[in-house]
Amino acid sequence: MADASSFHALLVGINDYGGSDLSDGNTDANLECAVPDAERMREFLVDKLSVPSGNVISLHDREATRQNILGTFRSHFIDNPRIKIGDPILFFYAGHGTQNPSSLQEPTEENSDLDQDGDDNLHEAICPADRLEDAVPDIEDRELAKLLMELADRKGDNITVIMDCCHSGSGTRSAPAQGRKKHVARHIPPLRHTRPLATSVSRAPSGYRHVGMKPGALHSHVLLAACRNIEQAYEIRAKDRAGGWFTSQLLKLFSSSSLPTTSYSSLMAKIPQLRFEADEEDEGDEEGPSATLMTVTQTPQCEGKRKDGLLFGGKGLGADRRLVRMRTVGQEIKVEAGSIQGVTPGCRFLVQRGDRFTEDYVGEAVATRVEAVSSYVDIHFGESPPLDGCFARISYRPDPPYCISFTSPASSGPQDVVKAGLEASMEAERRDVDVNLVLSDPQQARLIVTVHGDKMEFTRNWPLLVQHCAPIPVAAVPLESGPSKNGEVDIQKVCTAARFDFYLHHENPDHPYRKNVSAKLYKVRSDRLDRTRDLAEGGVAHLQDDSYAAYALYLESHAGVNLYPAVYYFDPSNHSIQEMYKAPTHNAGAAPLKRALTIGTEITGSPFYFYLEHGEEQDTGFVKIFLSERYAEMKIIEQDEEFEPAPSIEGKARNRSAEAEQDERPGDWDTITLCIKVYRDLASARV
């Protein structure tokens, strides 16, 4: 379980560019608010999130040289033995940004406007304090991309990059014109005669050429950018609110939001577009003063594979996603989990105050009557405290039992450790997994565990894998057991696999909407749905590996009732369950499914991307759509490959009038599952 001590940050703020080369002879390119922005970000991390000050390194002005920025990134992040896989990492930059021609030719009138839409003709860059022609180049997005990929490989992808500078929408503040203005941009022209980058950097995969250029390319991190790559980022020099406009907006929301329950995308959706009128001279028109007014905009961007996930991966922020709300309804008590989440009569819950990680439970609750998305419970408290502010999580599920078996080709001490630990944990009714594990013979087992030397193999007799994967791949995970560990880590891996299987195959046997609701998968081209062909016709999609190919779901209903969809991706390769789409109650501007709903366009979030990891020839995953007549708190099913508990994505605020309406009609629920198969070479695959 992570806490604030696992959080590490590198904060760069540069006001003083006095010793650098500004290319155009502009001597007034210094900023005023970049260093204060970095200082305010540090204050937030240390004072508000309780991140140890030693975990936060700040580089200001002359300290923020090219060598120091790159070297500190490596030493503080990549080579830091104290950072474990999955720990939250933040890189923050406030200062000037620029764009360099990718062909490395000298900027001219003819090529200065290339790549205004983010093509390959320009590379975005951040400007170190010591930038100098033919000596000290800017730090291009390709270099940052290479470092971020290496960091993700070493420490996991819980990486957040915040860029408050110009052209940050593609990976990385414009030089002020003469005179003092309220809005000052953070941008300076590129260095002329820019030296080619080192070969190792130039060979960075093209998908990462622009850090954040295409949402599908950001597999290593989440980028919060001050503006689009065709815009400039501004700092406000008003007496009452001086600072980078973007950083100021972020910090304001950081302070006013419930961070443990806030996602990147939901936070960024609250930041408005900055708009103001400026004359062309203020925008750096070199032809001289002009009275022509133009509307200037700054549009913050949120990009990355995990942008719908929790801020900083939810780690270090304290909330537990396994928790659901408890509330009083008349004389009865309800928990916000029902049959759609796998609750059955007799299911037990642990009750605690607040939604934070804790072992301080105040009582227990037992489900007596189960509805579609909630359950009525009897509570057992030592002192019968009030329920205000109490949450519950499933601690024991009596039905259905989940059968597992252990086999061994030879005598295996490590396997005996794992098996003995699992048996002991079942007798003790483990509190950290909500699947009822039962040892059985191999013929009845859904999961067969075999220990081979230093690894543990899972034979998975799961219907959907049997149907769509022939032969069924054996999942292998490293074995970490030892006499001192009592098999605890490996037991958790077994539980993770069992839990994955349970929720992948969990469904309503009555299927009330199965005949009236359909789900189709389409490509997204230029932000528009290409409905020429349903790629998941028959429930299976065969896709060519392409990290830039965008997809969207199209749901159509003739059920006659409003339905709330929640979409999850089940990855059998690592047993993770990741949210793809939040139900509409928590999606501003989105509507429930009435007749038709597109999931994966601007109104309903962002497109989906399915791709192969390095070395994979093909992969299979499942998109599961949960449908309910009432909003369902589905966050409790989520898990990463280690099933480390993480905070919920949803906030505490609820529509009370909607709750009152929902209490009058329990509603029903159903699911639709699509199989997604991705191939390195689709044309040669037998499909």
What's the residue count for the chain?
687
Q: Report residue 672's pLDDT band, with 50, 70 and 90 as the boundaries.
A: very high
Residue 47's alpha-carbon distances to 51, 88, 433, in angstroms, are: 8, 17, 34
* 22-31 residue pLDDT tens: 544 454 678 8
DSSP codes of every residue in 577-620: EEEEE--GGGSTT---BSSEEEESSGGGS--B---PPTT-SEEE
Q: Report residue 344's pLDDT band, with 50, 70 and 90 as the boundaries.
A: very high
* 74-99 residue pLDDT tens: 999 999 999 988 899 999 999 998 87
pLDDT for the residue 384: 58
Question: Residue 502: is its pLDDT beyond 70?
Answer: yes
Question: In angstroms, how far is CA 662 from the centroid of its own chain?
Answer: 30
- Give the domains, in start order, of the chain with CATH numbers: 4-314 (3.40.50.1460), 324-396 (2.40.30), 402-505 (no CATH), 517-643+654-684 (2.70.50)
pLDDT for the residue 134: 73
The residues near 81 (Cβ < 8 Å, ≥ 6 apart) are none
Residue type at position 306: R
Question: Residue 103: is its pLDDT beyond 50?
Answer: no
Least confident of 22-26, 361-365, 644-648: 644-648
**Residue 599 and residue 583: Cα distance in Å, rounded?**
10
**Residue 244 and residue 237: Cα distance in Å, rounded?**
9
Q: Report residue 655's pLDDT band, with 50, 70 and 90 as the boundaries.
A: very low
For the chain, what percentages of helix, strand and coil (3-state, to nearest 5) are there?
25, 30, 50
* 578-612 residue pLDDT tens: 888 877 655 444 568 888 999 887 666 678 888 88
pLDDT for the residue 482: 52
Q: What is the pTM of this model?
A: 0.61
DSSP codes of every residue in 530-573: ETT--TTGGGEEEEE--TT-EEEEEEEE-SSS-BEEEEEEEETT
Tokens 């009030």 belong to which residue?
A: 386
Q: In 364-450, which residue ranges form alpha helices assigned H by DSSP?
A: 413-427
**Residue 352 and residue 506: Cα distance in Å, rounded?**
27
Q: Report residue 371's pLDDT band, with 50, 70 and 90 as the boundaries.
A: very high
Give the SS3 label for residue 181.
coil
Least confident of 60-69, 243-252, 259-268, 460-469: 259-268
Tokens of 88: 């939250």
Question: Residue 413: is its pLDDT beyond 80?
Answer: no
Other C-beta atoms closer than 10 Å to the C-beta of 546 total 15
**Residue 361 and residue 656: Cα distance in Å, rounded?**
27
Q: Which comes out higher in pLDDT, residue 677 or 496?
A: 677
Tokens 């192969």 belong to which residue?
A: 612
Average model confidence (pLDDT) for the chain? 78
CA angle 643, 493, 337 (to 5 degrees): 40
pLDDT for the residue 269: 81
